[in-house]
Structures are given as structure tokens and as C-alpha cells.
Amino acid sequence: MSETVKATFDGKEIEFPVIVGTENEKAIDISKLRSSTGYITFDDGYKNTGACRSKITFIDGEKGILQYRGYPIEEMAEKSTFLETAYLIIFGELPTKAELSHFQELVAKHTPIHYDMRHAFESFPANANPMAILSAMFNMVSCYSPHLLDGDYTPEQLVEASARLLGKTSTIAAYTFKKANGRPFSFSNPKLDYSANFLHMMFTEPYQEYMCDPDVVRAMDLILVLHADHEQNCSTSTVRMVGSSRANLFASVASGVAALWGPLHGGANQAVIKQLLEIHESGQSIDQVMERAKDKNSGFRLMGFGHRVYKNFDPRAKILKKACDKVLASLKTRDPLLDIARALEERALEDEYFIERKLYPNVDFYSGIVMRAIGIPLDMFTVMFAMGRMPGWIANWYELRTDPNSVINRPRQVYEGATKRSYVPVDKR
């Protein structure tokens, strides 16, 4: 017999079914709670609320497990590429050789943006925040994709919409960087793989082709693979929330960008580098920094350490650390911030305070360091995160759109404002 949970409301006992996921996660199904009892649940920040059933990504934070469609992140990181991972996440299965090459060709075909869209970049000020540009440009892409707006996609339309979004994200990101630096745009090169082409569009100058170091390209691709999905985080839940009103895919991912822009979500890797800069500029020793991090009254935390979900280790950080070491060795970068980062990492990993509290470097610690070493400016870090997260946003949006039971998302609230009172005309107040 299926498991149930009983609760008593005003002396009346009600039984609720328990939903069990494929990895044995359990949830109490309270969908009939309000109609049968008049009560709602209160769960500030949705920390205990399952808002959907999903077949895309599984996380067990206690055990440090992250799986895309059942495949462990460690295997995907070692053996796959970003576009293959994106295919898996969006369509549910690993592609055949023919499917992958078709998808790669389609992404390459849709990477250039419509010529008219280039003019849009002229109207942004040079110091515009790249996330503002990215969000605006996704809505603009929708204007050039009218046949993809209704959202009831055929399989071919889903492939095309995904290829468009993945391709155009890399171009918009690179052109945002060029615009900020007053440099001419570089055309995409369809012969290059996704990450190599992105770096080419970012760094190629009119008379100086960017020479892609394979370790750098691999590290860039790895960052994208590791960020491709992370189940119901703030931006993905936003995409689902917006999509639940039957908003189109482009508008929904634009809202995902807006959610990711917030410093509590997409800004952690920037915070890591900003903190390293502060430490460097203030001339503090590693000892002093460690003491401040452990002193509760200092209000100071080591950025890039600890995680809300992963309580033993962040599996993505373990993987990225190796790539980080490789990139730094390969580029032979001399950067005082990277030296500070290395020293902090070493000290924190053997410090009792950090060991006791299971505070390990998280993915943002290493992604921040790698991106700085590659030459990606600080204000573009969150854009890289968005580029990586695109497959997760698309897959979640599509899963919701094709779920016959999905309804418009409409949470309730506990009202705590004034009770009913009568209006008083302004001259009598």
C-alpha cells in the first residue's frame, strides 16, 4: 500500500498521499489541503516545497551527488562536451553521433545574430551591465523568431529554438564584451566548437586571431557543463513560473537572466574575485584573513567556501579544481590574486574551523579563478553562468509546457496587513 501521512485539523484527521521519487525522495502531496481543510502551508523561501515533478536533474546535497538525466556529473565532465550535455538535458537522452553533429551544425548556423540586432548594441551605454543587455537581447531574439513564440513545439521546433538560444547567447555575450571595450565585433567561426568559438568571438581582434589554448578551451567548456542545470534554483524556478503563464521560451529565459543577475544567485563567483582584490589591496596576511573569517563579530566570510545544498563537498568544485590547476600551469599566469586564492584554499582545507563546519571551496571559487585567468572580466562572470545554465532553463520550460497537469503558478500568502476599515476623505483626515 502506498505511504500516507496523517495530520489533524481542528480535530479532524486527514490523510495525505506521499509521492516517492525515483531516487527515493519523499514528498507529502498537499494539493487537496486547502479544499479539504481551509488551511494552506507556510514555507518562506520554498525551502521545503517541491514545486514540480521533474525528470531532469537529481541532487543529493548530503552525499555530494549531482546527476543530469541520471548521468553523474563526474562522468559528464570527464567525457562530454557542453553541446552534448545540453542535448542530454534538453531532450532527455544522449544524442547519437548523427544527432549530435546535426545539433552542432544547427547551433553554428544560429550563432550569428540578425544583422539588424547589431544596431541594438549601439544604444546601450559602454558601461551597461552585461546582464541587462543579455536579458534585453533575449526578448529581441524573440522578435526575430515569430514562428517560435506559441511554444507548442514540434520536436523539430524544440531543436531549432534550443539551437538559437544556445548559439545566440554566445554571440550576445561576446558582443557585449566588445561593445564595452569599444572593439569591433568578430564573426563566429562555424568550424570551431562551441567554447572555442565563443573565446574566438570574445578575443579575436581585426588583425590578430585569438589562438585557443586547448586547456583553456576545455576549462571554459567544463565551466559550462558544470553549470548546465542545478534543478529548482532561483532562476530556473523563475523560468518555470513565467512559463506557467504560457509565456514564450525567449521571454521566460530572459526572466531567468534577471533572477540570475541577483548577487545572492549568480554573483558568488564575482564576490570571490572582489574579495581577493580587497585582500590584495589592503595587504592583509593569510593569517589575518583566516582569523577574520572565523571571527563571528567581523561579519566577514570567505567567499567561495561553503554551500547551502552541498554539505560534504560540491562535486562540481572537485572537478573544476583539477581544470583550474591545469589552466594556471598552462597559461603560466602571474597574478597576485591567484596566489592569494591558492594560499587561502590550502589553509582553509587544513583549518579545524573549516573542516568541522564542512566548508569546502565551492564551484564559484574555482570558476572565478579560471575565468580571471582566461581574461574574462569580472562583470561578465554572471553572463558565463547564464550561458551555461541555458540548457537547464530550456529543459525546465519545455518540461512544464508539455506536462498535461501543469497549471499557472499562483502561490498563496498569509495576510498580515490592516483588517477591513472604511475610507476617510482626504479633507477629514
Using CB under 6 A as the binding rule, whether residue 256 contacts ligand CMC is answered as no
Between 151 and 306, name the residue whose CB sits nearer to ligand CMC. 306
Show the site string, 322-361: x = touches ligand CMC by CB under 6 A, - = not.
-----------------------------------x-x--
- In the complex, residue closest to ligand CMC by CB: 306
Of 304, 315, 388, 391, the residue at the interface with ligand CMC (CB under 6 A) is 304
Of 362, 367, 382, 396, the residue at the interface with ligand CMC (CB under 6 A) is 362
Question: Which part of the chain contacts ligand CMC (CB under 6 A), choosing from 92-100, 119-127, 128-136, 302-310?
Answer: 302-310
Using CB under 6 A as the binding rule, whether residue 305 contacts ligand CMC is answered as yes
Between 301 and 322, name the residue whose CB sits nearer to ligand CMC. 301
Measured distance between the N- and C-terminal CA atoms of the chain, rounded to whole angstroms = 64
Between 176 and 270, name the residue whose CB sits nearer to ligand CMC. 270
Which of the residues are catalytic? Answer: 307, 364
Using CB under 6 A as the binding rule, whether residue 243 contacts ligand CMC is answered as no
Angle between the 82-91 and 381-401 helix axes, to the nearest 10 degrees?
Answer: 30
Between 263 and 336, name the residue whose CB sits nearer to ligand CMC. 263
Least distance from ligand CMC to the Cβ atom of residue 375, Å = 23
**Region 8-47 residues binding ligand CMC, contact defined as CB under 6 A:** none
Using CB under 6 A as the binding rule, whether residue 388 contacts ligand CMC is answered as no
Q: What are phi and psi of 13, to 5 degrees?
A: -90, 130
Beta bridge partners of 16: 5
Least distance from ligand CMC to the Cβ atom of residue 239, Å = 15
Using CB under 6 A as the binding rule, whether residue 64 contacts ligand CMC is answered as no
With CB under 6 A as the rule, give the number of residues binding ligand CMC. 15
Question: Which part of the chain contacts ligand CMC (CB under 6 A), choosing from 9-17, 149-157, 328-336, 362-370?
Answer: 362-370
Least distance from ligand CMC to the Cβ atom of residue 149, Å = 30
Using CB under 6 A as the binding rule, whether residue 226 contacts ligand CMC is answered as no
Of 268, 331, 380, 383, the residue at the interface with ligand CMC (CB under 6 A) is 268
Q: Whose grid coordinates read 490523510? A: 15
Q: How are beta strands 65-68 and 71-72 bridged, if at all?
A: antiparallel
Least distance from ligand CMC to the Cβ atom of residue 68, Å = 15
Using CB under 6 A as the binding rule, whether residue 306 contacts ligand CMC is answered as yes
Q: What's the chain look like in SS3?
A: CCCEEEEEECCEEEEEEEEECCCCCEEECCCCHHHHHCCCCCCHHHCCCCCCCCCCEEEECCCCEEEECCEEHHHHHHHCCHHHHHHHHHHCCCCCHHHHHHHHHHHHHHCCCCCCHHHHHHCCCCCCCHHHHHHHHHHHHHHCCHHHCCCCCCHHHHHHHHHHHHHHHHHHHHHHHHHHHCCCCCCCCCCCCHHHHHHHHHHCECCECCCCCHHHHHHHHHHHHHCCCCCCCHHHHHHHHHHCCCCCHHHHHHHHHHHHHCCCCCCHHHHHHHHHHHHHHHCCCHHHHHHHHHCHHHCCCCCCECCCCCCCCCHHHHHHHHHHHHHHHHHCCCCHHHHHHHHHHHHHHCCHHHHHCCCCECHHHHHHHHHHHHCCCHHHHHHHHHHHHHHHHHHHHHHHHCCCCCCCCCCCCCCCCCCCCCCCCHHHC
Of 293, 369, 384, 387, the residue at the interface with ligand CMC (CB under 6 A) is 293
Least distance from ligand CMC to the Cβ atom of residue 244, Å = 23
Least distance from ligand CMC to the Cβ atom of residue 129, Å = 19
CA distances from 354 to 186, 302, 338 (A): 45, 10, 20
Least distance from ligand CMC to the Cβ atom of residue 52, Å = 19
Q: Which of 143, 137, 221, 210 is nearest to 171 (CA)?
A: 137
Of 246, 301, 322, 347, the residue at the interface with ligand CMC (CB under 6 A) is 301
Using CB under 6 A as the binding rule, whether residue 220 contacts ligand CMC is answered as no
Least distance from ligand CMC to the Cβ atom of residue 180, Å = 25
Using CB under 6 A as the binding rule, whether residue 145 contacts ligand CMC is answered as no
Using CB under 6 A as the binding rule, whether residue 276 contacts ligand CMC is answered as no
Positions touching ligand CMC (CB under 6 A) are: 268, 293, 301-308, 357, 359, 362-364
